[in-house]
Structure 1
Amino acid sequence: MSDIERHGTTARYADAVIHNGVIHLVEVPASSDGDIRQQTQEVLDSLARQLDALGSDRSRILMATLYLTDLADCDGMNAVWEAWLPPGCAPSRACVQVAGLVDPGWRIEIALTAARS
């Protein structure tokens, strides 16, 4: 019996993996249209839905890694990110520039871990 839960598993990835009460998620924008603010909001909305469905929420995020294709997008992304997080609940975070993402129109991808409630 495995103590690892996998949700939405495909041959290539799982939508979520849970181990020892820690949820692991990765999300990309719903579309390749829009500026960094729109794409960031799409990603965060999806992450919030997943966290809720898995028994967690934004206040329980432990670590986030944000991948941007252009560091000039940091200010716009940060504005949406900061408005999305509950006050006093900022997780450990890394933000890095990457050469590209799977869809050339995507400007952001976010990986995070969160504690289950």
Structure 2
Amino acid sequence: MSDIKRLEIGPRMSQAVIHGGLVWLAGQVGNAGDSVADQTRTILERVDALLAQAGSDKSRILQTTIWLDDMKDFAEMNAVWDAWVDPSNPPARATGESKLATPEYKVEIIVVAAVS
């Protein structure tokens, strides 16, 4: 198992797992109770940091799954996403509505990226 590297290992999950030239991030959430825009900004800052630890960056994201507590927040989340995403290298992306871990979480983002 030495070919698998795990980052920020916790009792339940790792925040990132690297294997075979790819990095999978755990679902990232912002600060409970913040606005959708602020949660999205916090999440994307965390994604940047985890990708950097893994030897990657947002230009190498292959796929993103975004869960919203309510699809009415789609435009608010997208405004932050659009300002952040690499316009030359946008990933494949899906967005759906789902109940999240607590009602105070409005956004959760999952990322798969290539490692440099």
TM norm structure 2: 0.94
- Per-residue CA deviations over 1:4-30 (Å, capped at 9, x if unaligned) read 11111122100100110100002111x
Letter in 1 for 2:63: M
What is the SS of the residue equivalent to 1:105?
Answer: coil
Question: How many pairs were matched up?
Answer: 115
Structure 1 gap segments, 5+ residues each: none
Query: Which segment drifts farther, 3-12 or 107-116?
Result: 3-12
What does residue 41 of structure 1 align with? 41
Alignment of 1:23 onto 2:23: yes
Shift of 1:69: 0.6
What does residue 32 of structure 1 align with? 32
What does residue 103 of structure 1 align with? 102
Letter in 2 for 1:104: P
- Per-residue CA deviations over 1:16-72 (Å, capped at 9, x if unaligned) read 00110100002111x112211111000001000111121111100000000001000
Structure 2 gap segments, 5+ residues each: none
> In percent, how many aligned pairs have the same letter?
40
What is the SS of the residue equivalent to 1:8?
Answer: strand
Mapped to 1, the partners of 2:103 and 2:72 lie a distance apart of: 17
- Per-residue CA deviations over 1:72-97 (Å, capped at 9, x if unaligned) read 00001011111101222110001010
What is the SS of the residue equivalent to 1:87?
Answer: coil
Mapped to 2, the partners of 1:13 and 1:83 lie a distance apart of: 30
Letter in 2 for 1:62: L
